[in-house]
Amino acid sequence: MNSFTLKTLLALTVSASALVSVANAQGVREDYTPVTDEMVLNPPENEWLSWRRTPDNQGYSPLDLINRDTVGDLELAWAWPMADVGIQETAPLMHDGVLFLQTNNNIVQALDARSGDLIWEYRPALAEVPAEWGYQLYQSRRQKNSIALYEDTVVLTTVDARIIVLDATDGKVLREVQAFDYTVGYSYTVGPIVVNGKIISAISGCSISGTAGGCYVVAHDFETLDELWRFNTLDDPNNPEQLASWGDVPPENRWGGTPWATGSYDARTNTTFWGVGMPAPYAALIRGSEDGDALYTNSTLALDADTGELKWYFQHLPRDDWDLDSPFERVLVDLEENGETRHLLISVPGKNGIFFALDRDTGEYLWSQETVYQNSVTSIDDDGTVHTNEDLMLSALGEEVLICTSVSGGKLWQAGAYSPLTQQFYVPLTEACNVVSATQTEFTAGNATGAMRFGPRILPEGITEAGLVEAIQVGVTKSEDAGWKVRQRPSMTSSLLTTGGGLVIGGDAGRYVKAWDQETGEVLWQQRLNAPIGGSPMTFELDGEQYLVIPTGFSAAAGSISSAFPEIPLPSGNGNSIFVYKLPNSAS
């Protein structure tokens, strides 16, 4: 497509987008309070302003009306069907009595948080792509948390690689920018962090044939949408070690390195932290990187939020041969130890389920801990050097190896949650393995460059329960005797939420939402809903009443290992919905 045609198409897309927004505005919220920078960093206790509530990604709410003693009394307050079908990985937000909900294909709705009544709806006119662009079309059906609240706006990232700023009171488009070229494969599948007048985001689609050599964390000016900086996870001319780590593979033949989970932000050091995914093609045999580590794939990046300059990096899985991705949530925790405050970054960053604790000011490795069964890493040295299992690296086309965890995890996009009450990190996990083999594949437009064949997901030998919630005790040093594990037959399919009421809340492929006791792992409450529990549960408070929001709907996490629990069949329908609970004896 020539530049004139592309510009014309993008202009038409922008015009159609604005028209659609106006046509679908159902109402106006007149008295909306703007979200300030201070509120982003320290949100009101009763609200949920960003993906994990706070930019440290802890996923914790201090609300405690719903607690160990009262959770069993929860009743349904209202429910709402989502606006579109597809894979459901949504993260609802709530501010000033308005619940903001984003769904697949970048539909945004504003609902009255008390009643569930629709205030406004925005449906963008997304760019059409050819039917044969299979992977790119798949991306549009798996939006995880594509909105953020800032000032009096909703900031939206789209599957056709735009950033759109909506008026939070009526859903109308205020401004937008075509941040990347969707015609080569770029798309957004997660939303941004918005702080200090900057929209900090990261692009996906970096495993699609047309996007070779460039995958980015990027900052845009909130007012003008001008690009301020970008950091390339595949090509860093300022780091000779990064360049050498790909061997003889030039940037134009590198793929992957996708930072496809929203990062975190530390205002104390003005640093933003992002996780980066696997290299592609998946097998070193095909990508040609031989024994190189393929930096910055499967790494944590610490970037200066003003300049995008790299402060430090840490690689969690060098030489990934099996698509074991390490982009997931980076969680920031401050702990008092021996009279001083230590600033930690904690995460189960990748599909193999290994927990890492790092010093977030320096990137120093502190300790790690295995969760689910895995065979991709043989050991981790005291200095944090990770040793990849070379015996399972593919040496010939068609050769098969059994790798654990599977391409679906282990740990996947579902976020863990930290509780300051227990200083524990609670993680939703799945036990799974699969056979993999490298293939010679023609790279075509709109399709992935994985060049890998994956067998069915199976349970590791001797394990009969696919689902696992694990509580990991967080500290500067590893605690051998703290924490707990709760196993169950169906796999975990939602992010987790922790609360000041001492609860951990999440759900599974068996359609059960559950509340576990943070200290013991005991199930204190459960309800079976219409579809697998999905997305990111959240909680808020209005008029002295605490509400609990549970998204449901089908996701890849629900289907990938479902053969391991055939007695719990998945529903054939889509079922994308939210269910909103509160305690009884209160006004409706």
Confidence (pTM): 0.95
In this prediction, what percent of the chain has a pLDDT beyond 90? 87
Q: Is the pLDDT of residue 115 over 70?
A: yes
The CATH label, of 3.40.109.10, 3.40.50.300, 2.140.10.10, 1.10.8.640, for the domain at 30-582 is 2.140.10.10
Q: What is the mean pLDDT of the chain?
A: 93
User: For residues 546 and 114, is the Cβ–Cβ distance under 8 A?
Assistant: no
pLDDT at 408 over 50: yes
Give the pLDDT score at 87.
85
Phi, psi of 109 (to 5 degrees): -125, 145
pLDDT value, residue 535? 95
Virtual CA dihedral for 320, 326, 327, 331, nearest 10 degrees?
-160
Q: What is the pLDDT of residue 23?
A: 38
Q: CB-based contacts of 510: which residues, under 8 Å, 6+ apart?
A: 488, 489, 490, 528, 532, 565, 568
Instruction: Please tell me whether the peptide bond between 281 and the residue prior to it is cis, using omega within 30 degrees of 0.
Output: yes
Distances (CA, A) of 512 to 81, 195, 501, 549: 18, 36, 20, 14
Q: Please name the residue ranges forming H helices in 54-169.
A: 134-139
Task: Give 562's DSSP letter.
Answer: G
52-56 long-range CB contacts below 8 Å, 24 or more apart? 52/329, 52/331, 52/415, 52/417, 52/536, 53/538, 55/193, 55/195, 55/264, 55/265, 55/267, 56/264, 56/265, 56/266, 56/331, 56/332, 56/333
Phi, psi at 200, each rounded to 5° = -105, 120
Average pLDDT of span 566-572: 92
* 54 DSSP assignment: S
Give the model's confidence band at 10: pLDDT under 50 very low, under 70 low, under 90 confident, else very high: very low
- Say whether pLDDT at 512 is over 70: yes
* Mean pLDDT to the nearest integer, 111-136: 94
85 near 104, Cβ under 8 Å? yes
Closest CA to 435 of 352, 350, 322: 322
For residue 586, what pLDDT is reported? 52
Tell me which DSSP letter residue 473 carries: E
Q: Is the pLDDT of residue 4 over 70?
A: no
**pLDDT of amino acid 588:** 43
Q: How far apart are the first and last CA of the chain?
A: 55
Of 12-21, 292-301, 536-545, which range is least confident?
Answer: 12-21
Portion of the chain with pLDDT greater than 70, in percent:
95
Whether the pLDDT of residue 12 is over 80: the answer is no
DSSP labels for 479-492?
-SS--EEEEESSPB
Task: Yes or no: say if 314 and 273 are a contact pair by the CB < 8 Å rule.
Answer: no
